[in-house]
Amino acid sequence: MKLIALPAFSDNYIWLLHDDHHALVVDPGDSAPVLTWLQHHPGVQLDMILVTHHHADHTGGLTELVSHTHAHVAGPAMEKMPVETQGLVQGDRLDWHGLGFEVHEVPGHTLGHIAFWAQPVDQAPVLFCGDTLFSGGCGRLFEGTAAQMLGSLDRLAALPDETRVCCAHEYTLSNLKFALAVDPDNQPLRTYAQICADLRHSNQPTLPVPLSTERAINPFLRSRSRAVSNAVRQRDARAMDDVTTFAALRTWKNEF
């Protein structure tokens, strides 16, 4: 399986997975990058589209892609989509040419947000997590609660270390700037920030990133650690437990 990040808009990625014959895409907010790629790869058929949540920058290309390719669309059962969609919930499995996807409900950014995890043969697993987990950060709480998002991130953090985290946005540098403000003595974070700065200087994506790296550097996955929780509580005395600390951390990021 070959994994490609197709840039869209100013900072979105549409993830494309293919085996030289069949392709799937994830969260196609814009049809143009996908159709252009398909035109340059005439032997590859797009026959599956995965959607993590209902926001337009993740669904805007669905109608045109389905019209052109007749691809099957699968997405969150709790959210309305602009095309006919197979609704999925926690624990569902989806098979695509022998590759099995596990479905994880990860509410927080939206109430019905889902993520897809799969283990290609002889390759590291892939996680398509939409706007729930970003490298160095997490999604804003537009519909869900801090408790929901913390639970969602815990669910994703429990996946295997080598999982390739495929986020939907190139937010890494701004997220890491905040992470360093929260956790300035984290040496793995400082090293990773330099690696990512070099990648972006070369106009390369910072993604995908191993989940093990995120566990080491992402303050939203480390909100229970002494370094992060102390930093949050020094700023906000209302941060008394896991959920209120996480909520205060997310508010800090919103205002950063």
What DSSP assignment string belongs to 129-159?
EETTEETTEE---SSS-HHHHHHHHHHHHTS
CA distance 221 to 224: 8
Residue 147, pLDDT score: 98
pLDDT, tens only, 177-218 = 999 999 999 999 999 999 999 999 999 999 999 999 999 999
What are the CA-CA distances from residue 124 to residues 83, 161, 216 (Å)?
A: 31, 9, 18
- Residue partners of 133: CB distance under 8 A and separation at least 6: 106, 115, 127, 139, 153, 156, 165, 167, 214, 218, 220, 221
pLDDT, mean over the chain: 98
- How is residue 236 written in tokens? 């906000």
Task: Give the position of tokens 């098979």.
Answer: 95
Say whether 248 sits in a helix, a strand or coil. helix
pTM for this predicted structure: 0.97
Determine the average pLDDT of the residues in 222-244.
96
Residue 233, pLDDT score: 96
Determine the average pLDDT of the residues in 76-99.
97
Spatial contact of 27 and 3, defined as CB atoms under 8 Å apart: no
Spatial contact of 26 and 39, defined as CB atoms under 8 Å apart: no
pLDDT band for position 87 (50/70/90)?
Answer: very high
Residue 223, pLDDT score: 98
Residue 107, pLDDT score: 98
pLDDT, tens only, 130-159 = 999 999 999 999 999 999 999 999 999 999
Residue 69, pLDDT score: 98
Q: Catalogue the active-site residues.
A: 53, 55, 57-58, 109, 131, 169
pLDDT band for position 129 (50/70/90)?
Answer: very high
Residue 41, pLDDT score: 97
